[in-house]
Amino acid sequence: MKRRDFIRRALCASASSALFTGFAGKLALAHAAAGSGRQLLGNSYRALVCVYLYGGNDAFNMLVPRSTAEYNQYAAARGTLALPAASLLPLNPAVVPIGGASFGLNPAMPLLRDLFNQAQSPLAIAANVGPLLYPISKAEYEAGSVPVPKQLFSHSDQSVTWLQTRADASDRRGWGGRLADMFHASNANQQLSMNISIDGENVFQAGDEVFPYFVGENGAEGVDAVQPWNADRRAAFLALRDALHGNALQRQYASVMRRSMNNEAMINDALDAETALATPFPDTRLGRQLRMIARLINVRGTLQMQRQIFYVGLGGFDTHDNQLGTQAEQLAELDAALAAFHAATVEMSVANAVTTFTASEFGRTTSVNGDGTDHGWGSHHLIMGGAVNGRRIYGIPPNLSVEGPDDAGWGQIIPTTSVDQYAATIARWYGVPPGDMSTVFPNLGRFATPDLGFMASS
Amino acid sequence: MKILFARLSLAATLLAFSSTTWAGDHVFDSSFDDHAEGPWSDADAARFLTQATFGPTLDEIARLRRMGYNAWLADQAALPASHERPYMESQEAAGLDVYQNSRQEAWWLHAINGPDQLRQRVAFAFSELFVVSDQNGDIEGQPIATAAYYDLLVDNAFGNYRSLLEQVTLSPVMGHYLSMFKNRKPDALENIRPDENYAREIMQLFSVGLLRLNADGTLLMSAGQPVPTYNQDTIRGFAHVFTGWNWANCLVDGGGQWWEWEWCPPGPVDWPEPGWNASWFLPMQAWESYHASAEAKQLLDYPGVILPAGMLAGGGSAASDLAAALDNIFQHPNVGPFIARHLIKRLVTSNPSPAYIGRVAATFANNGLGVRGDLGATVRAVLMDAEARQLPSLASNAGKLREPLLRQSHLWRAMHAASNDGRYREWYADYYLGQAALRSPTVFNFFLPDYSPPGELSSLGLSAPEFQITTDTTVASVANALDSKTFWAWRGNPWMDPEDVVIDLDAELAFASDAVRLIDRYDLLFMSRTMSSSMFDILVSHVQGMDNADADDRRQRVQDAIWLIQTSPEYAIER
């Protein structure tokens, strides 16, 4: 075991101990790690925010071609679900996208349209991203001559594949978790997990050593009945919780309870002392989640966090039915919440240190099932933040024509960029050294462009 | 018995209490006429009832001991089903506004008071397999139809899987949830093709799963790799099968014209006249002109499949294609182990041995009378298996995390919770428990069957599905919910309103002065006497340290004991 690994494990062991609470202790451990770690990268704060769109967002109705030839292909495939060309919100990219088409956003997304089109734009789009094992053409797909990820088109499997970013793995460890395994020693506070989810359990943030901590939209929840005023009951509760349990499931339950209680006071004390943000957030599911993340970033100094990875989620994108109405509402919620979050990072002067990106298990078929679409494969995604080289569409926008060169059948579009490339581009900015890239993304070398270029140099 | 005496002597030594009556509670357990198959102790009976009901009560423990497992199971099978729909219709008739709240009320009513506990518990397990959810907009607006869907699960809990699968498939509630309703044949001109939603999920989630299984539920391997159960062609084949279904009793004046298909109303009269949504309560009806009849359809292909290579020839009707497709699923060798695994995980343990799954799957395949898919026999096989009936050792890591809903129902049954008018206005349990009946966020239920939290459990290769909703937030909010149900919502608390559901602690106060006896009572009622000696001692010591001057003091002793048990790791993991 390398010395660095040894210290990392020692830190983890300490972090999971209920005895380990004092800030002095945390600092001492961080200093111990500092002697060993190239992952301790100076004083600059960095955070990632994964916005997961549950159900498979139909990005082919989020980013739509406007130039005549490409729009006509789109309209022929989409039939009754085609958005009228006049309704699209025009994008003015600084660089003409590959293929030369022009594009517009779904009419529900005026705020992100503005962010995309502005000077020093913080918003970029990655075109046609999806899980791949190798680059693959339609002919290779049809011939079965190049392997593809298992269980394509299945919600549960493709959401895991997306977030693992190694389509041939089955360990349910996500790339956010792997980054945290590398970077968590950077945080002076070793009690609070580097990975915080506002939307519950997820694969993205699960590492081998670091597991996500979960908070609610309104902060952490404490156990009311064992507050200090009832010292006897509290003592009995803790004695039951911390007993030596003979069954691994009992130990797991005790450990979740212990972590919850240890972190709750720390989080809520920090939030209570916060200087409130002026930026208003929409009172929507995603708006409330992103507001909590903004608040946690706002108190990063109190919490002594240098590197963080957050996770939020929005459901309802599985639009087999009533797609036009449903998706417009979903995208409007996404639009308002992302714009507010970006404004909050500007207010906190951390826009350059926070990068937000979307993920979703798959895109949807370009073909229609009546009033909705089915499970597809490739899809477009948004990357937002001050370090993003915005106002550009990266990658290769697909040909949407029926039975066209990118159509695997029935309008399931073959990705032209792998999730590995998408994630690696963000991870490189986050600070993963070139020599460690293949550890985090073992399949990255299979793809010609390991860095898509949408992030500033780190 | 040995542990019990050890506890007694330990407690006696440590605390020097005196008790004259405690032992009578169970020392003479064996004076019952034991039935050959058991239960042979109150602890065995309580443990069985924890698996088979929404929580043991002392009365039911005694009744089960009198009857024996076999007679109890036969009695449960014979009891009439408790339904949600009539409850809600009577509320509607009484002029109340009926929303999904009312359905949750009915669910709690039957969970707490329904005589047909086993049927209700199995229906709840099926509601976590054949998932529909009132989080879906179409379904949210149809609370009584949602209840009728649950009643369908209740009615078929001991029926045949093939029939249940067909009723689920043709339910307009499922039709709306997974969009088989008004799914139509392909139209090349419009680039329209059949919706794949139901085709995919009926296979992945309701019947066979993604990967081929051996008869004991382990993965079938070929050249070191698992074997997919189906591919995209199969999904398209089933998607074509599931076309051409619309409301029952559509008025087809024009002979099935497109505007009739498109605008057929859900009832013969206009809203809000009674009956405007009558078709929400009837199986969907076939429209041949919208069914993809012509195409040959690739269905499941497996050893012994009746259709040649799983291929259904074109030319069938909507109904004949549906029957052939459901038969094709039903006969797949995965179904037995798939359903066995689900029921075992919901009722008994998270990590059953392959042999246990195999025995239950064998009963599913043949109930002893040559019938496949007998769910009553399958449930019985789950509960009466040696692996279910024997208390596993701690070191085996057997057991499961109790679902949050079952923790609250356990408290409420054990402590006879009710409101003054008998209604259970428990409308938003999901807010603090993360769970409520037919309110899953997606068709994947509240948790996945093979979920394993990162850390020790996943390195040991153990699944623990319920941990997927056990986050740092919910672990506290569930404890706080049990706090308010225990310390606050008790009968006699002057701060409670008449419509609040309150537990009844009056009968408990008589035990509160004697801490050993109190904890011993709850060891049986809440933990089937699996409590460790150290936990027993901690609780006795804590209760002994509390005041005991008056009824208020005694009530607080009872409340502390209950809450500390229900939030402890030993209780949370049911063994």
Q: Pick the closest to residue A391 from A127, A151, A122 (CA basis).
A: A122
pLDDT-derived band of residue B33, with 50, 70 and 90 as boundaries? low
- Contact criterion met (CB below 8 Å) for A193 and A212: yes
d(CA A406, CA A59): 15
- pLDDT tens-digit readout, A381-399: 999 999 999 999 999 999 9
Q: Is the minimum CB–CB distance between B258 and chain A shorter than 8 Å?
A: no
Residues from chain B contacting residue A256 (CB–CB below 8 Å): 467, 470-472, 475
Please report where in the chains the tokens 């004390």 appear, as a residue.
Answer: A269
Backbone angles phi and psi of A317, in degrees to 5: -90, 0
Contacts of A280 (CB under 8 A, 6+ apart): A340
Helices (H), B528-568: 533-544, 551-566
ipTM, two decimals: 0.93
Q: What are the extents of the domains in chain A?
A: 46-221+263-446
Reported pTM: 0.88
CATH of A46-221+263-446, one of 2.60.120, 3.40.720, 2.60.40, 1.10.150: 3.40.720
Structure tokens at B417: 């919770």
d(CA A237, CA A239): 5
Helix (H, G, I), strand (E, B) or coil at B435: coil
Q: How far is CA B370 from the centre of its chain?
A: 27
- pLDDT tens-digit readout, B284-321: 999 999 999 999 999 999 999 999 999 999 999 999 99
Cis? peptide before B39, omega within 30° of 0? yes
- pLDDT tens-digit readout, B550-565: 999 999 999 999 999 9
- Contact criterion met (CB below 8 Å) for A135 and A389: no
Helix (H, G, I), strand (E, B) or coil at B503: strand
Contact B228 A243 (CB under 8 A): no
Lowest mean pLDDT among A8-12, A80-84, A163-167: A8-12
d(CA B310, CA B307): 5
CA distance B348 to chain A (A): 14
Q: Fill in the DSSP letter of residue A38.
A: T
Structure tokens at B346: 């919901």
CB pairs under 8 A between A and B: 222
Closest CB from B394, B470, B567 relative to A247: B394
pLDDT-derived band of residue A43, with 50, 70 and 90 as boundaries? low
Helix (H, G, I), strand (E, B) or coil at A253: helix
pLDDT at A3: 33
pLDDT at B155: 98
CA distance A255 to chain B (A): 9
Listing DSSP states for A49-67 in one string gives EEEEETT---GGGTEEE-S
Q: Is the minimum CB–CB distance between A369 and chain B shorter than 8 Å?
A: yes
Residue of B nearest to A251 (CA): B569
Q: Pick the closest to residue A223 from B398, B474, B20 (CA basis).
A: B474
Residues 155-194 of A with CB under 8 A from B: 155-157, 172-173, 177
pLDDT-derived band of residue B78, with 50, 70 and 90 as boundaries? very high
Is the pLDDT at A418 greater than 70, yes or no? yes
Q: Is the minimum CB–CB distance between A435 and chain B shorter than 8 Å?
A: no
Q: Is the minimum CB–CB distance between A95 and chain B shorter than 8 Å?
A: no
Closest CB from B473, B479, B532 relative to A216: B473
Residues from chain A contacting residue B532 (CB–CB below 8 Å): 243, 246
Could you give the C-alpha distances from A253 to A151, A260, A438, B102, in angstroms and in order? 32, 11, 35, 33
d(CA B571, CA B575): 9
Structure tokens at A431: 């600070």
Please write down the long-range contacts of A296-300, taking CB distance under 8 Å and 24 or more positions apart.
A296/A196, A296/A215, A296/A267, A296/A271, A297/A47, A297/A345, A297/A348, A297/A350, A297/A354, A298/A274, A298/A348, A299/A270, A299/A271, A299/A273, A299/A274, A300/A45
pLDDT at A44: 86
Contact B468 A374 (CB under 8 A): no
Closest CB from B462, B469, B472 relative to A248: B462
Residues from chain B contacting residue A211 (CB–CB below 8 Å): 453-455
Task: Annotate B334-356 with b (16+ C-beta within 10 A) or e (fewer).
Answer: bbbbbbbbbbbbbbbbbbbbeeb
- pLDDT tens-digit readout, A220-259: 999 999 988 899 999 999 999 999 999 999 999 999 999 9
pLDDT-derived band of residue B34, with 50, 70 and 90 as boundaries? low
What number is the average pLDDT over the span A58-70? 98
Q: Is the minimum CB–CB distance between A215 and chain B shorter than 8 Å?
A: yes
pLDDT at A169: 84
Q: Is the minimum CB–CB distance between B559 and chain A shorter than 8 Å?
A: no
Strand partners, B374: B160
Q: Which of B138, B176, B191, B446 to mutate to test the interface with A (most CBs of A within 10 A)?
A: B191
d(CA B101, CA B134): 10
Residues from chain A contacting residue B477 (CB–CB below 8 Å): 221
pLDDT at B184: 94
Amino acid, single-letter form, for residue A140: E
CA distance A103 to chain B (A): 23
Residues 177-236 of B with CB under 8 A from A: 178-179, 182-184, 190-197, 200, 204, 210, 228, 232, 235-236
pLDDT at B257: 83
- Contact criterion met (CB below 8 Å) for B574 and B400: yes
Residues 494-513 of B with CB under 8 A from A: none
d(CA A349, CA A355): 13
